[in-house]
Amino acid sequence: TKVENAFSDYRHKHKVQVGLITELGQKTAEIASLTEEKKKLQEELGALQVSMTPVEDEPEAAHGLTTRAELVEKIRVLGQDVLDGVKFGFDNAVDQ
């Protein structure tokens, strides 16, 4: 009958609305979680940018190095250059 159909329609709409409210709650919680994660990532990015800012007396050779591995390799190369220079100077002094 008409009343039963209306009640059935109401129950269906109520069920849909409850589902939407539940989904809205889940999405709201997800947004809050993602917002917090974004805030933490922005803070981490800021800290990394500050740590990568060159200092006043930073040597030109250090510019552009962005990882520890690059820095270690640059130190190794510069150390080898110094050793080669000292060896050349020593050999030159011996030859005289």
The pLDDT of residue 38 = 97
The pLDDT of residue 39 = 97
**Mean pLDDT of successive 10-residue stretches along the chain, which has 96 residues:** 94 96 97 97 90 74 75 89 93 86
What is the rounded CA–CA span in Å between residue 49 and residue 68?
15
The structure's pTM equals: 0.50
Instruction: Look up tokens 């005289």; give the residue.
Output: 96
71 neighbors 65 (Cβ within 8 angstroms): yes
What is the rounded CA–CA span in Å between residue 90 and residue 96?
10
Give domain limits for the chain.
1-53, 57-96
Angstrom distances, CA of residue 57 to CA of 53, 62, 78: 12, 10, 18
65 neighbors 77 (Cβ within 8 angstroms): no
pLDDT digits (tens, 9 = 90+) for 6-15: 999 999 999 9
